[in-house]
Structure 1
Amino acid sequence: MSAKMQTQRQNLHILSGDYRLILNKVYENNLITQREYNNLKSINNANAETYVNDLVDKIMNKGEDKCKDFLNLLQTDGAIKETFPQLASLQCSATRWEYVTGKIRPVGLFVIINNKNFKDGSQRRGTDKDAQSLAEVFSWLGFRVLMCEDLNKDQMDQALTFVASLADMSHFVDPQQVLEHGDAFICSILSHGKKGVVLGTDRNPLPIKEITRKFRGCDQSVLTGKPKVFLIQACQGSNIQRAVQMNDMEIDDDTSPLTIPEEADVLVAMATVEDHASLRHIVDGSWFVQSLCEQLKERCPRGEDIVSILHYVNDDVAHRETSLLAKQMPEVRFTLRKKLVLQPQCT
């Protein structure tokens, strides 16, 4: 864990020292509603840190201005300054709120499903390079990375169902390890695919719509109102813009009373457009994933949002071609209501 992340967890622990003072001050300064105040006061069977977590989530989901007002309150209110002198050095500029990407606790959970070895004996060579690049970049961005390898269709479906609720992840992680969604959820699936689906290692299809549907907003979901991003490296058909011999490239074929739509806050970035193939180098990895990682490393420190970064990925991949002029065009679709800014957590 980086020094910055340790400081963020320490700040959460500090606020837990007198959470009722913080709650009262937040309400007095109109950062939460009467109803939210009453609900937070009445939470049962929760420790102090849980109270603070819930309070911070409420404020951060209200927008950048409320988030800045909260940080300003922590640094300027007399009673808070007297009770929590450790917060004097807290920097307002440390929080970039558009979609909150975690400033009090880890940014969120990043799940990679990396299907390399298929039941028919075939391999997706180069996919380990993609998985490693993604893990490194999103760890740098402060995400907890969970890697799942060589899952058949049912195992993919089960893993994603569990991740959506974090109900029982004992099959995938050490039971003693605590997983939490944090402020954003990102999933990358590296596999073969066909139109509208990704394939398990048994080559049975799992519809992409079914995957994203598992993470739809609902009253009970802690991910409601938070960004959910899906990065899909898989073909969506077998068409190639020109018939070519691929040489060393392979194809991956065969806040109250506010409400929001249940399909809100989702982004799906596909390596290729519908009906077409995506390209993957057998050593260097796929065009799409490698371009994505390069652009994230270059542009996240500048504060650019994920959609803007994906524009650069689209342009970069569109300019690439094999020696025989095979091309690829990624596609991005989203229902994000705000900009999603991911910032490096390591200095």
Structure 2
Amino acid sequence: MSKDTLRSNKTDIVMGLCGDYRLVLNKVLEKKLITQREYNNLKSIPNENIEGHVVELVDKIMNKGEDTCKAFLDLLQTDDEIKTTLPELANIQDNCLLPTPEELYELRSQPVGLCMIINNEKFSDGTSRGGTNTDAQSLAEVFHWLGFRVLMCKDQTREQMSHTVAGLASLSDGNQLQGLSVQEWNGSRFTAPQQALQHGDAFFCCILSHGEKGAVWGTDLNPLAIKEITRSFKATEQSALTGKPKVFLIQACQGRQKQRGVMLKDVETDGGSPSIPEEADVLVAVATVEDHQAFRHPVNGSWFVQSVCQQLKERCPSGEDFTSILHYVNGDVGQKEAFSQPVTAKQMPEVRFTLTKRLVLSPQRM
């Protein structure tokens, strides 16, 4: 975490900041990491005590919490003037925040991998999921930006969803998803795929539908178990995705209950085996916890998917790993409220994973 990084590298950071304290202080004010009053107080410390200035600034940043600590470290790494004047600070940032290669999933393929969106809008009972196309487009845009080939299947029954998942799990060079209307995002809209599909170094599956406890619905209102979906991707010697990250983002209700709002009180491998478990390297993020509803605006899309896309856009450029980004998604969605009588309704996404390394997605030059 960024606060831990500041704490463990405080001595080196303080020494680096002493080189041009006023420059960094002004930059911190510009980024609104401190208030004008705090700036004036820090500036009023006697000039002969430069180190006192710096220690006070770093302590103040650390006391403001994780988000402010991260923004401060990002500033040291990315601001051109600071990098030129105080290059040792950028080096501290690199050394303490970026994981070693052994800790990361390797994402070297071009494209990075496939991102499949199953987008169920219209159902056999005549109902429709307003706003789901907004979610699908937001996902397509952000994963295309992150270097994935983005595919979409629209309005699938339970059997069709099962066939799609099985087809993706067994996909090999030259294979297509036979019998399904697969479209591919070309940067502005969905069209027919122009090239054969093959897996890269990562796989994402985004399912947008209705659901119930532990399952998502096909358009025929029949449930497909989330466990059945993920277990289609068990590691095998033949699978192109063995040892690679497989992420499932599920936007679907998991029951009919509404979560109530509660007021807070008093808040302030050396020598390892070459084999891996067959269910390793999987992450499942569901829009809501079991038995509860997930909220979706009929035009602007769902709370969960829109938050995922926004957090990816904001945090991937700075090298934050995917599971950490989902912490911010949980916090963001958890703060939203739906006004439903007799109580204010809330939503809490749930994440579970067997990832063995850090998954860092980076914007690609297209």
**Range of TM-score over shorter length:** 0.5 to 0.7
Name the counterpart of 2:281.
Answer: 265
Deviations 1:223-247 (A, max 9, x none): 010000000000111110249xxxx
**Aligned partners of 2:253 and 2:294 also within 8 Å:** yes
Q: Does 1:340 align with 2:340?
A: no
RMSD over aligned Cα atoms? 2.1
**Aligned partners of 1:101 and 1:107 also within 8 Å:** no
Change beyond 3 A, Cα 1:96–1:179:
farther
Change beyond 3 A, Cα 1:99–1:169:
farther
Name the counterpart of 1:294.
Answer: 310
**Aligned partners of 2:210 and 2:252 also within 8 Å:** yes
Change beyond 3 A, Cα 1:143–1:101:
farther
User: Which one of 329, 346, 350 corresponds to residue 327 of structure 1?
Assistant: 346
Distance, in Å, in 1 between the alignment partners of 2:277 and 2:283 is 14
Matches within 5 A, 1:105-254: 105-166=110-171, 167-171=175-179, 172-173=181-182, 177-242=195-260
Q: Which amino acid aligns with 1:235?
A: C
**Aligned partners of 1:101 and 1:341 also within 8 Å:** no
**Aligned partners of 2:105 and 2:358 also within 8 Å:** no
Runs of at least 5 residues in structure 1 that lack an aligned partner in the other structure? 1-92, 244-255
Q: Which has the higher contact order (CA 8 A, sep 6+)?
A: 1
**Aligned partners of 2:115 and 2:148 also within 8 Å:** yes
Task: Give how far 1:309 is off.
Answer: 0.1
Equivalenced residue count is 242
Matches within 5 A, 1:32-71: none
Change beyond 3 A, Cα 1:227–1:118:
same
| SS of structure 1 residue aligned to 2:250 | strand
Distance, in Å, in 2 between the alignment partners of 1:344 and 1:231 is 19
Distance, in Å, in 2 between the alignment partners of 1:100 and 1:179 is 21
Task: Give how far 1:97 is off.
Answer: 7.2
Q: Which amino acid aligns with 2:330?
A: N
Name the counterpart of 1:59.
Answer: none
- Which TM-score applies when normalising by structure 1? 0.66
Task: Give how far 1:130 is off.
Answer: 0.4
| SS of structure 2 residue aligned to 1:326 | strand
**Aligned partners of 2:249 and 2:285 also within 8 Å:** yes
Runs of at least 5 residues in structure 2 that lack an aligned partner in the other structure? 1-97, 183-191, 262-271
| Identical-residue share of aligned pairs (%) | 64
Task: Give how far 1:114 is off.
Answer: 0.2
Change beyond 3 A, Cα 1:117–1:203:
same
Task: Give how far 1:106 is off.
Answer: 1.0
| SS of structure 2 residue aligned to 1:316 | helix
- Which TM-score applies when normalising by structure 2? 0.63
Task: Give how far 1:128 is off.
Answer: 0.5
**Aligned partners of 2:108 and 2:201 also within 8 Å:** no
**Greater C-alpha Rg:** 2
Deviations 1:69-96 (A, max 9, x none): xxxxxxxxxxxxxxxxxxxxxxxx9x97
